[in-house]
Amino acid sequence: MNIVFFDSGIGGLSVLREALMLMPNENYIYFADSDNAPYGTKTKEEVKKLTFNAVQFLNEKKIKALVIACNTATSAAVRDLRETYDFPVIGMEPAVKPAVEKNNNRGKRVLVIATALTLKEEKFQNLIARFDAEHIVDMLPAPKLVEFAERFLFYGPEVSDYIKEIMPENLDQYGTLVLGCTHFPLFRRALEENLPKDIDIIDGNRGTVNHLMDILKNNNLLSLSDKKGKVTFYKSGVEVTDKTLLEKYEKILYGRNL
């Protein structure tokens, strides 16, 4: 049985990376729908259709749990996926709650960066309504970061120039930057170098994987093997065998630069 991670592209590797640290003995499938990326600029209906097409394909791969490692796809499709399939479906949620709790007493604001679709979807707006009673959360779409990631460009002048271009002028008002897209933790180094040193940068990846572990435990689905598991990669329905691409994936999963 496999734990499946699905994303529009390579961003979900940042979530799978956390899972490999905590559950190295599981077998994983990673599905990157890179041929159809980015999702964040598509309509909700388009994203939902693409997500369901991928999960229909993956359903033949002996799934014991599915992680929608994409905030945009989570917003568009997770509710309907849970109604359609019997296996556990875990979605992403931007770390708004801990960011607000930390900054309410500091007199600082919170900045959430994500795709435009994630920010305007009902799921995210409900999250803001539940936890941002003091209205300290600002939202910022950062679509080009997804495009950079799909080119495996995580650092350098082009990335830094874009970060500087989109960021608000008065960054001193912010205590926390929430990374609301799974592609964005891949830019942690670039963000840290282009933001004030006292801004915390957080994401929801570890919380998602902890939730996954709890579900697996509660359903007696955790692997009992003492051997290291394997990861199989698919790119838009085709198993990845290209060595150069596999090396790029594995560098993200096992490298020390994230």
Locate 155 and state its tokens. 């650092």
What CA–CA distance (Å, rounded) separates 248 from 141? Answer: 26
Does residue 168 have a cis bond before it (omega within 30 degrees)? no
The answer to whether the CB of 209 falls within 8 A of the CB of 3 is: no
Locate 4 and state its tokens. 């499946």
Specify whether 70 is catalytic.
Answer: yes
Considering 3, 181, 209, 253, which one is annotated as catalytic? 181
Of 92, 102, 93, which Cα lies nearest the Cα of 176?
A: 102
Of 75, 82, 37, 16, which Cα lies nearest the Cα of 55?
A: 82
Q: Which helix (H) or strand (E) holds 16?
A: helix 13-22
Considering 70, 81, 92, 240, which one is annotated as catalytic? 70
Task: Identify the three-state secondary structure at position 190.
Answer: helix
Of 49, 8, 47, which Cα lies nearest the Cα of 30?
A: 8
Show the beta-strand stretches assigned E in the chain: 2-7, 28-32, 63-68, 89-90, 109-114, 137-141, 174-179, 200-203, 231-235, 238-239
Rg (CA), the chain: 18
The answer to whether the CB of 179 falls within 8 A of the CB of 208 is: no
Q: Which residue numbers are catalytic?
A: 70, 181
